[in-house]
Amino acid sequence: MPTASQRVLLDFFSNDLHFTPTPGQIDRFERDLHLVSPYLMSAALKEAAANRGLVGRRFDEQRATILGIYYRKVAEHAQLFPIFHSFETAFRSTVAVELETHYGRPAWWMPVRTALMRGDAARSVTHIHGVRIASDAAHLIGRIIYAIEGERFQKPQLNAVVDGYAFAELCDLSHIGDLVTNHWSVFSPRYFQPPRPVTLNEFHSKFRIVRDARNDIYHHKSVARMRNVVISAEQLLERLGYSLAFGYAKITGARLSHPVFRITPVGQSNLF
């Protein structure tokens, strides 16, 4: 039975490169595949094949071309980190501040957690510190608590969490978006009304576009139509009062000390 990398290679060669490799080429590519993302490598192979950058070239030249495209794609991913960092940080902090203000307590989720721990449904909580909470919002908070601690509270992390900032950091990004949509009456009047109103469906769609791209890139997968991702992030952040263009310029324009590497590449390893 072929190894995992051999299976991926066979797919690459048959579907992307359209040629039968020699044993030496298989060995070289298999060693490469131990060190790279198969998703980005597949995208690099398809781009190289589509541009006919491999036609009539020696294997070492083909490999250099493919790796050049691969590392360019890695660089494109790295270029997007400031956008995702800005988006994620701004929304986590906004949710933390607004929900603490709305419910009037730093640890506003605790009544739902208390209900779950005594065996009641999250929906049984109708008020948090005297503030009415919708059934769906209470259910969502319960799902988030279970996601953080487990349905049997085997990971009781929330015992040490004292405010919404820390709670938001334990949430998945999808939870953050859901907390906004399930508290739309809290967030919409302040952030999403005229002069350029954003509907609940529009917010959900734009937030999901950014979140899905962020997840794909954090798992080293290629993402199509990045322009739409950037525009969606920019439009939603603008409603929070955050200029993505300004933040991006400050992050990418910062003067940094570059990492210092002590091991000099030798021979073919200079590509990795």
Mapping DSSP onto H, E and C, the string for 125-192 reads CCEECCEECCHHHHHHHHHHHHHHHCCCCCCCHHHHCCCHHHHHHHCCHHHHHHHHHCCHHHHHHHHC
| Structure-token pair, residue 263 | 């091991």
**Does some domain include residue 182?**
no
| Structure-token pair, residue 28 | 């070289």
Q: What is the model's pLDDT at position 48? A: 80
| Structure-token pair, residue 91 | 């929304």
pLDDT means per 10 residues in the chain (272 residues)?
Answer: 62 65 72 81 81 70 85 91 96 97 95 96 96 97 96 88 94 97 96 91 97 93 86 96 96 92 69 54
**Does some domain include residue 45?**
yes
Q: What is the model's pLDDT at position 186? A: 97
CB atoms closer than 10 angstroms to residue 122: 23
- Out of 26, 55, 72, pick the residue that ends a domain: 72
Cβ atoms of residues 62 and 45 within 8 Å: no
Distance CA 71, CA 32 (A): 13
Q: How far, in Å, are 25, 49, 72 from residue 65 at the CA level?
A: 15, 10, 11
- Out of 72, 94, 127, pick the residue that ends a domain: 72
Cβ atoms of residues 17 and 45 within 8 Å: yes
Distance CA 4, CA 99 (A): 47
**Does some domain include residue 222?**
no
**Does some domain include residue 185?**
no
Per the structure, the count of domains in the chain is: 2
For the chain, the straight-line distance linking the first and the last C-alpha, in angstroms and rounded, comes to: 28
- Out of 128, 160, 192, pick the residue that ends a domain: 160
**Does some domain include residue 190?**
no
| Structure-token pair, residue 139 | 């259910």
Q: Looking at the chain, which runs of residues are DSSP E strands?
A: 127-128, 131-132
Would you tell me the crossing angle of helices 200-218 and 226-239 to the nearest 10 degrees? 130
Q: What is the model's pLDDT at position 143? A: 97
Instruction: Mark whether 11 and 65 lie in a shared domain.
Output: yes
Domain holding 13, by residue range, is 4-72
